[in-house]
Amino acid sequence: MAKRKSPTEAEDAPRIIGGGTHHEDVPFDRALRPKTFDDYIGQEKHKGNLRVFVQAARQRQEPLDHVLLCGPPGLGKTTLAQILAAEMNVQLHMTTGPVIEHKGALAGLLTKLGPNDVLFVDEIHRLSPVVEESLYLAMDEFRIDVMTGDGAFASAIQIPVPPFTLVGATTRTGLLTAPLYSRFGHHVRLDFYAPEELARIVRRSATILGVPITGEGALAIAKRSRGTPRIANRLLRRVRDFAEVLGTGAIDEKVVHGSSDRLDIDAAGFDEMDRRILRILCVDYEGGPVGVETIAAALGEPRDTIEDVYEPFLLQQGYLGRTPRGRIATKKAWAHLGLEAPSALKASDGPLFVAETSATRTTP
């Protein structure tokens, strides 16, 4: 079943600081996307390791081992898949989990591959169980089952497919089955980018777009971009609009602050939706714990959107904690809303409950 689009993903209400792709991003993303490891800024550890694995595979004239890329939307999973194919000097074939509707569609994709090509499957956690199961044989042995004949004469035969690399991308490793997860040789969990890395990305993008920007201006955009390159590039384009219409066309810190105010993006990079989440926790539920279903109902958003889009950055930045009984607000959340935290929380060193933050999460 197709996943329901949240209002924040819908075309009529695009959220500037949402990590998902907007239609208007597509041509810009294409122009701004780095094409090689040398152009790619950030994720240094993963980049260094992947460079070695690519070189090793090329030296052996073998396909790269299957790669699983995970992390919140907008961190560069598609970009990395494109870079891997380019660095391997092979073709990239792109699809999405729910689009591969049956085994025949998968067979169609796999038989079109050239030797050592990369098949990129976005949202790989949304493959149907039947398709996922036939993918196992293809991943392990580069063969697929196909049915021949009809009715009583039907039989399965196995045909070879070219050796290939599956690059799977998911926002949620927790939703992947263990057999699929274990078939990937490389597991790459993308982290949010540091403000300095994002500032370098903004400067690179501004150069490509021909927009003058100061170092402080780039850093100010970076700090309001939730650690996410796609958001940084989108915010750069919005700030450029303000600079060109209301200013001289050049971007400095002041232009960024003025533009962010007009867009309701605060100094932490939060928009009204983030602040609503913090207010539900602090004001409506006195700091929590609050179940994610309750937060979703209060916001009128699907639970998935809360977990994939909003929560990861709030967790990583330490505004939110996860406990077995639900989400809790930390001291930082109260302070951000300009509210006084409950005295028990103020007196404690950390949150009132043993909270799971992105640093302590144990899902695979």
Give contact residues for ligand ADE (rule: CB under 6 A): 32-34, 39-42, 76, 79, 201, 204, 229
Q: Which residue number, 193 or 285, has a Cβ lying nearer to ligand ADE?
A: 193
Shorter beta-carbon distance to ligand ADE: residue 100 or 232: 232
Instruction: Identify the CA nearest to 313 among candidates 263, 270, 364.
Output: 270
CA distances from residue 362 to 52, 178, 195, 239, 323 in whole angstroms, order as listed: 27, 15, 26, 38, 13
Give the nearer residue to ligand ADE in terms of CB position, either 83 or 282. 83
Closer Cβ to ligand ADE, 105 or 208, answer by number: 208
Task: Give the chain's length.
Answer: 364
The minimum distance between CB 88 and ligand ADE, in angstroms, equals 19
Beta bridge partners of residue 290, listed in sequence order: 327
Please, what is the Cα angle at 114 between 110 and 116, to 5 degrees? 95
C-alpha span between 110 and 161 (Å, rounded): 6
Reading the block at residue 100, the tokens are 């591969």
**Is 201 or 281 the residue whose CB approaches ligand ADE more closely?**
201
User: Catalytic residue numbers?
Assistant: 77-78, 122, 171, 230
Residue 304 has which token pair?
A: 């998935």
CA atoms lying within 13 Å on the CB side of residue 188 = 28
160: left (phi over 0), alpha (psi -120 to 50) or beta: beta
CB of 20 to ligand ADE, least distance (A): 15
Rg of the chain (C-alpha set)? 23
Least Å from the CB of residue 72 to ligand ADE: 14
Which 3 state secondary structure label does DSSP give 99? helix
Instruction: Tell me phi and psi for residue 170, to 5 degrees.
Output: -150, 150
Q: What three-state secondary structure class fits 120?
A: strand
Amino acid identity at 299: L
Looking at residue 350, the DSSP 8-state letter turns out to be S
The least distance separating ligand ADE from the CB of residue 34, rounded to whole angstroms, comes to: 4
CA–centroid distance for 135 within its chain = 23
In the complex, the smallest distance separating the C-beta of residue 110 from ligand ADE, rounded to whole angstroms, is: 29
User: Strands 186-189 and 67-70, how do they pair?
Assistant: parallel
Q: Which is nearer to ligand ADE, 34 or 71 (CB)?
A: 34
Using the minimum distance from each CB to ligand ADE, give the nearer residue, 220 or 295.
Answer: 220
- Tokens, residue 109: 């994709």
- Least distance from C-beta 210 to ligand ADE, angstroms? 16
CB 362 → ligand ADE: shortest distance, Å? 27
Rounded-to-integer distance, Cα 122 and Cα 111, Å: 19
Rounded CA-CA distance 10/12 in Å is 6
